[in-house]
Amino acid sequence: MRPDYAGGGLVNLMASIAISRGGKALHAPLKDFAFPEARNVVLLLIDGLGDRLLAKRAAGGELARRRRGSLTSVFPSTTASAITTSYTGCTPLEHGLTGWFTYFSAAGCVAAALPFRIRGDNSPLEKRLPADKVFTAPSLFESLPVRSIVVTHRDIIDSQYNVRHCRGAERRAYATLDELVAGVEAAVKSGDERKFIYAYWPDYDAASHQYGCESAESLAEVAKIDDAFGRLILSLSSTDSVVIATADHGFLDCPREDCLELPAALASQLRFPLCGERRVVFCHVHSEKEFAARAKDWLGERADVRPSRELVAEGWFGGGAPHPLIAERVGEVAILMKDGYTIKDWLPGEPRHLHIGNHGGTSEDEMTIPLILEKT
């Protein structure tokens, strides 16, 4: 499934929000959708809550009955790329964060951008590279002529990633779901001026990685946020607010027997460890032709193996002015896993954990996210 950047995707939702707050949209707004006028716009981003899961497992709930349709995530359909789009209004082509793991030539290593840690020894990336050299896209909040408030979890609120991408907004921390609801309510009611409140909830994503997206543990998290959303709507009654809920990506459960480890013959041809995600990996290789041929022979029908530059040219990462390092961020060869397959390599010191729930790929489960809206 291809991402929609022309009017039916996350990037277009952010454009519509920017316009509603008096800002300038970087891309086309949502098609065929009249954005309600309101003094406050609240965006609740529920990490990992795909549209298909919502329809199948939470039908009739507080979220599902306010669903207005579906959107697509970006490519790759993953937190690092999609949350950055929600914070900046930029496509992955523009902001340059193309997966959980990314090669940063200025630091000479592969690192996880969100926790700002080097892959392998998990040491701080800031020892080699300052955050403003990694996170170069301007924050959406900086461009809006209204008061902006971000309500996010206390464990990540002061991360390099959040400090940089929340510029122009007040940051408020919460520890529990009740505190998230109270924090959003307090933000909405903290003045009569026009506001944009951005809230983020991570627990369903974390549970889905560990237990699977349709496990009892993960569905319990869906029930919690569903109930909390209903309470939030009630708490904002008569505040002249538009409350939107969506996600950064969906999920796909992958059988452990379909979790493939990169064989030594292919690993020896890498210049750097694998980048991207377990569902879509970007390979920096010595010989593109040789690596691609061997990868195709090994994977067969389990994956598509393509030159990364073709994905860029075909618009998978979106439009706009390309990030100056986009070519190095996606390497020479991309491997797009099919069905429920994932692929991984391992570095010394890395814990050998296998995710049951995965995302980043192009299945409908991973790519579609809900558009939920209520006017209060």
Q: What is the pLDDT of residue 363?
A: 98
For the chain, give the number of residues.
Answer: 376
Radius of gyration of the chain (CA): 20
pLDDT at 255 over 90: yes
Q: What is the pLDDT of residue 353?
A: 81
Type of residue found at 306: R
pLDDT band for position 349 (cuts 50, 70, 90): confident
Instruction: Tell me the two tokens of residue 128.
Output: 């080699």
Strand partners, 276: 101, 281
pLDDT band for position 351 (cuts 50, 70, 90): confident
DSSP structure class, residue 302: G
pLDDT in tens, 87-123: 999 999 999 999 999 999 999 999 999 999 999 999 9
Instruction: Classify 233 as helix, strand or coil.
Output: helix
pLDDT at 354 over 90: no
pLDDT at 340 over 90: yes
pLDDT at 294 over 90: yes
Angle, CA of 172, 11 and 212, to the nearest 5°: 70
Q: What is the pLDDT of residue 215?
A: 97
Q: What is the pLDDT of residue 193?
A: 97
Type of residue found at 96: G
Mean pLDDT of 209-220: 97
Q: What is the largest CA-CA distance in the chain?
A: 63
The domain 10-97+118-253+362-375: what is its CATH number?
A: 3.40.720.10
If you classify domain 256-356 with CATH, what class do you get? Answer: alpha beta
Q: What is the pLDDT of residue 25?
A: 97
pLDDT in tens, 49-73: 999 999 999 999 999 999 999 999 9
Pick from 155, 148, 2: which is nearest to 89 by CA?
A: 148
Instruction: Tell me the two tokens of residue 259.
Output: 């979790």
pLDDT band for position 333 (cuts 50, 70, 90): very high
pLDDT at 167 over 90: yes
Burial annotation 28-43 (CB, 10 A radius, 16+ → b, else e): bbbeebebeebebbbb
Mean pLDDT of 298-319: 98
Calculate what percentage of the chain has a pLDDT beyond 70. Answer: 100
Lowest mean pLDDT among 75-79, 276-280, 310-314, 348-352: 348-352
CA atoms within 13 A on the CB side of 221: 23
Burial annotation 334-343 (CB, 10 A radius, 16+ → b, else e): bbbbeebbbb
**All structural domains of the chain with their residue ranges:** 10-97+118-253+362-375, 256-356
pLDDT at 321 over 90: yes
Instruction: Classify 374 as helix, strand or coil.
Output: strand
Q: Which residues does 207 contact at the CB level (< 8 Å), separation at least 6?
A: 215, 217, 218, 220, 221
- CA dist., res. 273 & res. 270, Å (int): 7
Mean pLDDT of 278-291: 98
Is residue 77 within 8 Å of residue 367, measured between CB atoms?
yes
Angle, CA of 269, 293 and 272, to the nearest 5°: 25
Segments in 189-345 forming alpha helices (H)? 203-211, 216-235, 264-267, 288-299, 308-313, 326-330
Q: Which residues does 145 contact at the CB level (< 8 Å), separation at least 6?
A: 21, 22, 23
pLDDT in tens, 30-43: 998 888 999 999 99
CA distances from 113 to 133, 145, 202 (A): 11, 29, 17
Crossing angle of helices 10-20 and 79-88, rounded to 10°: 20
Q: Answer yes or no: pTM beyond 0.75.
A: yes
Mean pLDDT of the chain: 97
